[in-house]
Structure 1
Amino acid sequence: MTRPPALARIDRPWVSGYPPGVPPSYRIPDVPIPRLLDDAVRDFPEAVSVRSRDVSLTHVDVRDRVIDLVTLLRELGVVRGDRLLVATGTTITTPLVLLALWRIGAVAVPLPPGGDRGHTARRAVEVATATGVVGALATRDRLQELQTAGLEVGWVLDTTDEGWLAARRRFRPPRPRLRRRRPGDGPVRDLGAAIAELATTPVTLHGEGPVDRDAPALLVARWRGGDRRVIVLTHHNLVASTFQARLWVPDIQAGREHVVVAGDLLALGPMVLGWLAGLLAGACVELFPPEETTGLARTIDRHDATLAVLEPAQVDALMSESDSSRRDLTSLRVVLAAGAPLDPETARELELRTGGARVREGFGVSEAGPITHAQPVYGRTTPGAMGLPVTDTVAIVVDPDDLGRIREPGEPGLLLLAGPQVSPGYWEDEEATAARFVDGWLVTDDLVTVDADGVFTHLGRRDEVLATTDGGYVAPRRVEAVLQRHPAVRRAGVTTDADGGAVIAAVRCQRRQRPSEEELLAHCHAHLDSRSRPERVILVDEIPETDAGEVARDALRDLLAER
C-alpha cells in the first residue's frame, strides 16, 4: 500500500473560512474526562448540571452521586481497565454511570445503536463477550432483552428506579458492606438499593492516581458488511472532541446556556456534542429520550433552551408536533443535527420557526469521534456539504488506489483524517489497526470531494456508493433517509438497475398506507438533487437485508429486476 503524504506538507485552506472566534488550533488539556465535572463544580457549584423529566441535579449533586457510584463499583471489584456494558439509555443516570466508570479508569462499552431491539441485544452480547465485559448497568427492559440474548457477566445493576437521586447526599449511618461478587454470583441488583447498603466512607476519587489521557474510555462497536470492529476512544479523544464542539460555537457563555439533547445519549453525537460539551460550558443539559415523540417543543419553550443537539428524527418530530406552532422556540440560537444527514428543506423550516437559529450538521466517523467537519455556525455555508474540518483537524482527499496522490479540487476520492480526536485503533486487532491507521492518518471508507476553499462534500461510503451512468456518484443512504421521512414509508432501499446505471428505490409502506409512485417521486424531487433522484420507486413487501441489518443492495437489484 502506498503511504499517505506527510502531515506537515498539507495545506489548510479551510482555516480562512473560520468565522471570528473559532481558532485553527487549540491546546487541548491533558486531563481525563471527569476533570470537566471538577471544573464545573468549582465554577458553578449550585447551577443545574443535568435534568430529565422531574429530576434535576446540580454540579455538586452530580459529583456526590458519582462518588456514591464509584464506591459501589469498587465494592463490586471494578478496577482500572475493566470493561462494563452500559445500556442505561437517555436517562439522568447515564451521565453519572459514565463519569463514575471514567473516574475509576474503567471502560464503558455502550449498547450498540439500532432500531430492532432484539438484534441490538444480540450484538451487545457479542461485543460484551469479545471485550471481556465484567458487569453491566442497564434499565429493566434492556436487561430482559440482554438476558434473552444470552448475556453472562459477573454482576448486573438495574438502573430503572431513579429514586436514589432525589435526596441530596448526607451522612448515612453505617450499614453492612456489600460482598464482592464473583461471576454468576447472585441475582440482578437494584442500583439504588445497592447504594443504600453502603456505609458512608471517605472516597479517594482517583484511587490509583490520575487516569492517563491515553487510557481507553469507550469501546464503540461498528459493523461493516458483517465484519465487526471495536473502536477504542481514549479520554484524550473524547476531551478533544468536546473542546472542538465547544470551540465551533464561539459565542457560548459559560454557566448561562441551556442545552437540550434529544437522541440516544449512548451514541457519540448526543453524548459528546450535547452532554459533554454542555458540561464543559457549565450549562444545564436537558435530556429528552428519543422514544418520546411529543413534548420537545414544550421542553424548549418551558426552559428557554439556547442550544439543541438533535438527531434528524427528532428534528422531524419537532416540526410535526401538533402544538409546535403554539410554542415559542425563539430562545434557540444554534441547533446541531448529529447522526445522519439533515434534509436542507427541514433545516430551513426550523430556522424560520425559531426566528433565525443557526441549524447546522456535524459530520464524523466513529474512529474519530462524533465530529471532524461542520458547517460554520456563523459565516458562509454550502448547502449539502459536510463543511470545514473543525479545529486541529486535517483532512485530505486521495486516490483510493494510491494514498500518496492527493486529488485535485472537485475530484472524488478517499477521505483521510488526522487530529487529536482520532482513535489509536481497534480493540485487540493489530492487523485492522495497521491497515486503517497509517502514518498518523485515519484511512476512512468515505468517498468525498473538496473544493478550493476547503469545503468537503460527502458522496457516500466506498463499499456502497452507487456509480451513475454519467460518471457521478449517489449516496444511497441519503436517498433512503429522504424516502423514510415520507409519512407513508416504513423502510426504503436504494440500488441501481440491472444495467448498473439508473438509480431505483424500493419502499416498504406503513400499515394501511399505499402511496403512489408519482407521490414518492415528487417527494424525492423536492428534497434531492437531480443526480440523486431515483428514476423509479417500487412498492415491495420486504427489503432484503444483510446479517448486519443493512440493505442488501445486490439482492435488492435482483428482486427489482423481476418487477
Structure 2
Amino acid sequence: MDSATTPPTNGRQPWEASYPAGLDWRTPIPERPLHRLVEEACAAFPNTVCLDFYGRRITYRQTSGLIDRAARGLQELGVGKGGKVALLLPNCPYSVIAFHAILKAGGVVVNLNPLASIAELADQIEHSGTEVLITLDLVPFHAKLDALGWPGRLRTVVVARMADALPFPRNWAYRLLKRRDVADIPRDERHVCFRRLLADHGAPRPVAVQPRADPAVLQYTGGTTGVPKGTVLTHAGLYANTIQCRRWFTGAEPGRERVLAVLPFFHVFGMTGVMNFALALGAELILLPRVDVREILETIQRKRPTIFSGVPRLFQAIAAFPHLNRYDLSSLRLCVSGGDSLPPLLLERFQQLTGAYLAEGYGLTEASPVVTCNPFSGLNKPGSAGLPLPGTLVEIVALDDRRTLLSQGRIGEVCVSGPQLMAGYWQDAPATAQAMDGGHLHTGDIGFLDGDGYLHIVDRLKDLIVTGGQHVYPRTVEAVIKQHPQVADAAAVGEPDPVRGQAIRAFVVPQPGSALSEAELRAFLAPRLSRFEQPQRIEFRTALPTSTIGKILKRDLIPERPGGDDREVNRPADR
C-alpha cells in the first residue's frame, strides 16, 4: 500500500476559502516512484497517443514498452540503484523515454542544459558523479562532448539518432539533406547506440524504490559563485508536485488533452509542469525541440493543442507576432505562465487574442518546482502568483528574524513547506542547512499573502537594493521604466557605492528604431519614482542576457556583483 503525505491540521489556512469548488487543500497526496506515472497512464489509456514528434506518433502502450526495454538496456550497461545518468537532450521522444527508463532502472537523472558552457557541463558531470550520458548524434552536442573529454566518473556516452525519432519520409529526407548536421561518432566501447538499449534483453530487473528517501533527479541551479549546486529531488517529491499540478487543472479531461511541449524538459518547469504533468493526465505531448514563435503558431494551428505552458517573454512574443490573426489558436484552453512576473496587460492581451485562460504561477527548483498558481476556476488575480497548491503551506517571515511569522498583507521572506520539497543540495550540507529549517524552505523571495490567501512576489531577496538606508525593490523601478512607450525591456541592479552603500543602475533596451535619450527617460521617471528610487546610472543596451527560458540574468549585467544565494526560481521575476 502506498503511503501518503497529509497537510498540517493546525487551523484553517487563509487560502482555503478561495479554493476552487470540489478541490480540497487537505487531501493526502500518495508517495510513489516517479516512473509509476507512465505505468498508470498506460493502464488507463493504452491506445492514446503519448508522444507526437513532427508526425511520429507513439501510444502510451508503445512508450511504456520502450521505457521498459531502455531500462533493461541501461541495467545491462551497469546502471543500478543510485547510478547517475545525465541527459543532454532537447525535447524529443528520447528525452521522455530515457528519463523514465533511468528511473525504472534504479538510476538518478542528471539534467544538463545543452546551451550550458563547457565549464558548466564539466562541473556538473563531475560534481554529480555521472557515469553514463545520453545525447543526440548532432554536431553541436558532440562538439561540446569532444571539448569536455571524460570528466569525473563518466565512462559511457549513449548516442541517439535524430533520424530514428522522425516519421517516414521525413527520416529519409533528414538523412539526405542534413548529413552535415550529423556527428561522426567514434566506434569504440565508450560510445553506445541508443538502439542497443532497446535490444530485447527482457523485462527490467525490479528495483526497490523508497519514494521519500531515494533521489530521482539532480537538478542544477543557475549560480553566481561558479560552484555547481545540485538540488536533490526525490521520487516522492516529484510525484507529489506532478499530482498537485494535475489536481489544480480542474478543467482538464484525462486522456483527451493535448499538451504543447515548448519549455525544455531539462529545465525543472518543463520537466514537471509539462512532461510529467502531461503523463499524469494521459495527455498527448506535442514535442518541439526549440523555441521558434512561427513554428509554435503553425503547430498550434495544425496540431490543435489544448494546454500550453510558457514564460512571459514567450507569451509576449506570440502576442506581438506579425499577422497573428492569420493563425487559428482557438484550440488553446488552459495556459500557465511561470519563470517571471506576468504583466497584467500582457495577461489580458493574450487572453483576448487567443480566447485561452492564462494563469500565473510561482515556484522554484527546490520545490520541484511549483508552489502556487492562480486557479482555473475561481478568481484569477492579475499580478499575483496565485494560491498554494494542495498540501502546500506558504508562510511569510520577517526579513530580520526567521522565527517571526508575519500576518497577511505584511512583506517578508516567503517560506514553503509541503511534500514537493527537495531533500537538500547534493554534497552540500551547509547550503542545505541555510535553505531548510525544520522542514521549511526559505525561498529567498520577498512577498506577502493578501486577504484572500493569494501570494504576491515583491522581489528576490538577493536583488534588494539598500541605498542610503532605504530599501528599493528593483521590480518597482523596472516596472516604471517599462511604462515608457519607447522602452522594450529594463533591469535594475544595485552596485557598490562608497556613499550610499549601493547605487541603482538601470539597464534599458529601447524599442527598435527609438531615439530615446537618458534625459528624456529621467524626465519620465522623476514624477513616477520616489527620490531614493531614481537610478544613479542608466545604461542603454540592445538586449539583456537571459536564461534558456527567458529569465534576465542580472549576474551577467554586473559580473562583479556579490553573489549570495544562487537558487533558481520560477518566478519572482524568475523565470
* TM-score band, normalised by shorter chain: 0.7 to 0.9
Quick check: 1:30–1:236 contact (8 Å CA) kept in 2? yes
User: CA RMSD of the aligned region, Å?
Assistant: 3.9
Q: Distance in 2 between matches of 1:435 and 1:9?
A: 25
Does residue 1:159 correspond to 2:160, yes or no?
Answer: yes
Matches within 5 A, 1:115-514: 117=115, 119-139=116-136, 140=138, 141-152=140-151, 153-163=154-164, 186-192=189-195, 194-195=196-197, 198=199, 200-204=200-204, 206-210=205-209, 212-226=211-225, 227-355=227-355, 357-467=356-466, 473-476=472-475, 479=478, 492=491, 494-495=493-494, 498=497, 499=500, 503-507=504-508
Does residue 1:101 correspond to 2:98, yes or no?
Answer: no
Three-state SS of the structure 2 residue aligned to 1:90 is coil
Three-state SS of the structure 1 residue aligned to 2:402 is strand
Quick check: 2:396–2:415 contact (8 Å CA) kept in 1? yes
Change (3 A) 1:512 1:392: same
Q: Distance in 2 between matches of 1:413 and 1:388?
A: 17
Q: TM-score, normalised by structure 1?
A: 0.82
Change (3 A) 1:291 1:515: farther
Deviation for aligned residue 1:110: 0.5
Change (3 A) 1:523 1:360: farther
Q: Distance in 1 between matches of 2:218 and 2:132?
A: 14
Three-state SS of the structure 1 residue aligned to 2:134 is strand
Moved more, 285-294 or 30-39: 285-294
Deviation for aligned residue 1:302: 1.8
Does residue 1:551 correspond to 2:557, yes or no?
Answer: yes
Quick check: 2:396–2:447 contact (8 Å CA) kept in 1? yes
Q: Match of 1:560?
A: none
1:333-388 Cα shifts (integer Å, max 9, x gaps): 11101222223222211100112x21112101111112101112222233222221
Q: Match of 2:175?
A: none
Q: Distance in 1 between matches of 2:415 and 2:394?
A: 6
Quick check: 1:484–1:492 contact (8 Å CA) kept in 2? no
Deviation for aligned residue 1:186: 3.1
Gaps of 5+ in 1: 1-5, 168-183, 557-563
Change (3 A) 1:236 1:162: farther
Does residue 1:21 correspond to 2:22, yes or no?
Answer: yes
Three-state SS of the structure 1 residue aligned to 2:385 is coil
Q: Match of 1:176?
A: none
Deviation for aligned residue 1:298: 1.9
Quick check: 1:105–1:211 contact (8 Å CA) kept in 2? no
1:51-101 Cα shifts (integer Å, max 9, x gaps): 122322110111122123113212211111001111111222111110100
1:93-129 Cα shifts (integer Å, max 9, x gaps): 111110100111210110148xxx3x53321210110
Q: TM-score, normalised by structure 2?
A: 0.81
Does residue 1:47 correspond to 2:53, yes or no?
Answer: no
Deviation for aligned residue 1:488: 8.5
Does residue 1:57 correspond to 2:58, yes or no?
Answer: yes
Moved more, 323-332 or 50-59: 323-332
Deviation for aligned residue 1:510: 10
Quick check: 1:134–1:155 contact (8 Å CA) kept in 2? yes
Gaps of 5+ in 2: 1-6, 169-186, 547-551, 563-575
Q: Distance in 1 between matches of 2:529 and 2:128?
A: 41
Q: Distance in 1 between matches of 2:56 and 2:530?
A: 45
Matches within 5 A, 1:67-82: 67-82=68-83
Deviation for aligned residue 1:467: 4.5
Change (3 A) 1:528 1:548: closer
Change (3 A) 1:404 1:164: closer
1:36-56 Cα shifts (integer Å, max 9, x gaps): 111111111111111122322
1:15-41 Cα shifts (integer Å, max 9, x gaps): 111121322122222221121111111
Q: Distance in 1 between matches of 2:224 and 2:411?
A: 23
Deviation for aligned residue 1:424: 1.5
Three-state SS of the structure 1 residue aligned to 2:27 is coil
Change (3 A) 1:286 1:485: farther
Three-state SS of the structure 2 residue aligned to 1:291 is coil
Quick check: 2:84–2:108 contact (8 Å CA) kept in 1? yes
Three-state SS of the structure 2 residue aligned to 1:321 is coil
